[in-house]
Amino acid sequence: MSSIIASESSRLEGFIEVPGDKSISHRAVMLGAIAVGESKIQHLLEGEDVLATVAALRAMGVEISGPRGGSLEIKGVGLNGLTKPVSALDMGNSGTAMRLLAGLLAGQAFPATLTGDASLRQRPMERIITPLTQMGADLGATGGKPPLVINPVSGLKGISYQLPMASAQVKSSILLAGLYAKGGTQVYESTPTRDHTERMIAGFTGQSWEQGNPICVASGLMLNGQEITVPGDISSAAFFLVAASLCPGSDITLCGVGINPTRAAVLEILNLMGANIKICGQHQESGEPLCDLRVRSQRLKGIDVPRGLVANAIDEFPALAVAAASADGITRIRGAAELRFKESDRINAMVQGLGKLGIKAIEYEDGMDIIGGRFRSGTIDSRGDHRIAMAFAVAGCCNSGSVVVNDCRNIATSFPGFVETGCALGMNLVEKL
CATH code, domain carrying 111: 3.65.10.10
Task: Give the domain-ending residue among 179, 204, 229.
Answer: 229
Q: Which residues are catalytically annotated?
A: 315
pLDDT in tens, the chain (433 residues): 689 999 999 899 999 999 999 999 999 999 999 999 999 999 999 999 999 999 999 999 999 999 999 999 999 999 999 999 999 999 999 999 999 999 999 999 999 999 999 999 999 999 999 999 999 999 999 999 999 999 999 999 999 999 999 899 999 999 999 999 999 999 999 989 999 999 999 999 998 777 778 999 998 899 999 999 999 999 999 999 999 999 999 999 999 999 999 999 999 999 999 999 999 999 999 999 999 999 999 999 999 999 999 999 999 999 999 999 999 999 999 999 999 999 999 999 999 999 999 999 999 999 999 999 999 999 999 999 999 999 999 999 998 889 999 999 999 999 999 999 999 999 999 998 8
Assess whether 188 and 108 both reside in one domain: yes
Give the separation between CA 25 and CA 14, rounded to whole angstroms: 26
Give the separation between CA 230 and CA 19, rounded to whole angstroms: 9
DSSP label of 299: -
Cβ neighbours around 338 below 10 Å, total? 18
Q: Any alpha helices (H) in 256-341, and if so which ranges?
A: 265-272, 307-310, 317-325
| Tally of domains within the chain | 2
Give the separation between CA 378 and CA 252, rounded to whole angstroms: 27
Grouping H, G, I as helix, E, B as strand and the rest as coil, residue 181 is strand
Assess whether 70 and 187 both reside in one domain: yes
Amino acid at 13: E
What separation, in Å, do the N-terminal and C-terminal C-alpha atoms of the chain show? 5
**Residue range(s) defining the domain that contains residue 193:** 22-229
333 forms beta bridges with: 368
DSSP label of 20: B
Assess whether 163 and 236 both reside in one domain: no
Assess whether 206 and 129 both reside in one domain: yes
